[in-house]
Amino acid sequence: MTGGAMDPLPAAAVAAAAEAEADEEADAPAADLPMPQASESRDLDPSRMQMPPGNPLLLSHTLQELLARDSVQVELIPEKKGLFLKHVEYEVSSQRFKSSVYRRYNDFVVFHELLLQKFPYRMVPALPPKRMLGADREFIETRRRALKRFINLVARHPPFSEDVVLKLFLSFSGPDVQSRLKEAAQCAGDEFLTCKLAPRAKDFLPADVQTQFALSRELIRNIYNSFYKLRDRAERIASRAIDNAADLLTFGRELSALGSDTTPLPSWAALHSSTWGSLKQALKGLSVEFAVLADKAAQQGRQEENDVVEKLNLFLDLLQSYKDLCERHEKGVLHKHQRALRKYSLMKRQMSAAAHSREPASVEQLESRIVEQENAIQTMELRNHFSLYCLHQEMQLVHAYLPLTSHILGAFVNSQIQGHKEMSKVWDDLKPKLHCLFVGPNSTLTPPRSPREGLSPH
């Protein structure tokens, strides 16, 4: 226990307790998912099992290094109709593995569950929700984007990127990928059981690790709240550009419809028949420029959705995964540790009562159970320290992604500059074509005056 209240246990006892705890105390997996067996042979990358030089707690990854690990595309493929439902499939293409495979949403679900099972102390991004009935195009596209963000965050995460389950998910093209993924997960326990550093994690943690954990959690919460508001505003800006495109297109079409009107001119307006004919001809020609303006506005909106909103969503997904990890740490490892300590205290009281009542059989049985509980408690303490070790590293990964902010702002500024520049040119080209609309007395052209020109000097 913490504080040295218990004598150190032999290494063999700790290892045995770790294996028993992995089966009995780990979170229950989803139905039909295999439990990792620590005693089975493990096909692991040898480099993951070697002691890294220096302080292994400190990471040196840059944003460019993380982005260069892989770039994964997720695209919709034509729907396949079942008896009752349409099944949406995705083409998942990995630049790193030079592969292209087909995956369904349920394949992502199994993959996600296996990641949580193998890496319970790492940032595993959440999946978008599943919608059983009535999935419209907008929902399917939103989910595709979310799946793309998920798989790219996973493929670029250092421990995940070296795991055989990721490689299978991105490159296995045979039938029943879910069974292959589950079979691969049976080859090893979770990261605590496979990482050589796990028993020594406490040695690398700072003395004020709990304080730093609380500060980090608060910082991430504040950053998340601010980026959530930025994403919300960026979405609205991009949406306004697309709405503006639709309005400009409708405006141009109405001008064209007005110019194409074939209603006979009544005798009351016969005096101005030539004027109305000239106006109609001019209005009809303006629709082309408004169509170009609409296209430019739509391009700007789509570009900001892809380069600004999606990158903000990516960073928000990462921040949310850290928040979820903090919650798993508190509700998982710490909760189980405290529960085990309470159980240990109860056993001690029961043994004391049995000793007073002189029941040798009960005392012997309780002593055996207490030893087992001590082993379990020490394993939980090791897991707690390893969880804090991983939280420390995951926080460093979050900070490695922070320079993404400059990429997002750069994309937003460039989009605004380019969009306004292109639309300004179209407006300038449109202006000379307006002169034929302003016909004054005696057929002289009278272009519109500026507001200031129309004001009285008094």
Give 233-255 pLDDT, tens digit per residue: 999 999 999 999 999 999 999 98
Amino acid found at 355: A
Among 322, 320, 326, 316, which residue's Cα sits nearest to residue 404?
316
Residue 310 to residue 316: CA distance in whole angstroms: 10
The pLDDT, as a whole number, for residue 203 is: 93
The strand ranges marked E within 205-360 are none
**244 to each of 292, 312, 366, 385, how far by Cα in Å?**
12, 23, 76, 54
Is pLDDT larger for residue 267 or for residue 456? 267
Mean pLDDT computed over every residue of the chain: 80
For residue 345, give both structure tokens.
């205290």
The pLDDT, as a whole number, for residue 251 is: 94
The pLDDT, as a whole number, for residue 449 is: 55
Residue 42 to residue 387: CA distance in whole angstroms: 22
The pLDDT, as a whole number, for residue 187 is: 74
Q: Is a pLDDT exceeding 90 seen at residue 9?
A: no
The pLDDT, as a whole number, for residue 241 is: 96
Give kind and range of the element (H or E) at residue 92: strand 86-94
Among 255, 254, 251, which residue's Cα sits nearest to residue 285?
255
